[in-house]
Amino acid sequence: MDIYFIISLLALGAFTGFFAGLFGIGGGGIMVPMLTLLFAQQQFPAEHVVHMALATSMAAIVPTAIASLRAHHKHKAVRWAVVIKITPGILLGTFAGTFLASYLSATPLAIFFSCFMALVALQMVFNRKPPATGTLPGTIALSATGSGIGAISALVAIGGGTLTVPFLVWCNVALPVAIGTSAAVGLPIALSGAVGYAINGLHVANLPAHSLGYIFWPAVLAMAAVSFLTAPLGAKLAHRLPVALLKKLFALLLVGLSLQMLVSVLG
């Protein structure tokens, strides 16, 4: 690993942590395309760079998810009854999603990721929220919903907030509580996704040194250490900066990074 690679990972962790704190996102939308580019520049196996980017992002999200969960729990914004009911489905769906991702080649994964992030960007630009017309379903239906959220989260390496929050708001859960509950759900998503990607990559040949399956641990440690420091700064500035304008600019950044990811993979 050269010094440029290490500095790039630290900068990516700082950048991701700051915007995770500012907007309450997991950071996969930034990490996956940037890691794909950085891994390709390091000449990691081209057929595995997207899988490694997804896996490494999931593992790096774990400490951020823990910090976010604790913060929302202190503000009593987590509905633990919902978390308990949805978690079995989340764990199963996320774990299964890693097997699907491992089966797919880099190109369809990159295309799916880019399309999904384009939808996320549009939602951020127009700030559309679902009408609160539903009610929380029973345990089985809630767990089934969690399976779907987990599966998609595994394919794009996100903490699930872009899916869980709208679902809970639609179920008449107040927005602050929906965000806090989603943050708690993000931990089992990240853990299950990281374990799944690690298992799926155990017998894959030609992966770089210091990898556990598809997870590249030096990148996880570098990004997690710095993002843990910058996330509180972003959260602190959330009430001082023009967040609405920054969200629109951030949405454009997501689209640009996704397009760059496609170019890296298809090129």
Torsions phi, psi for 216 (to 5 deg): -95, 100
- CA 243, 187, 169, 28 dihedral sign is positive
The CA-CA-CA angle for residues 60, 108, 116, to 5°, reads 60
Q: Which two tokens stand for residue 151?
A: 């599966």
**pTM exceeds 0.85, yes or no:** yes
How far, in Å, CA of 221 to CA of 149, rounded?
26
| Tens-binned pLDDT, residue by residue, of the chain (267 aa) | 689 999 999 999 998 888 776 766 667 788 998 999 999 999 999 899 999 999 999 999 888 788 778 877 887 888 999 999 999 999 999 999 999 999 999 889 888 988 888 888 888 777 777 677 778 888 999 999 999 999 999 998 887 777 888 889 888 888 788 888 888 898 999 999 999 999 999 989 889 999 999 999 999 999 988 887 887 787 677 667 786 777 788 788 888 888 888 877 776
Closest CA to 177 of 39, 89, 81, 112: 81
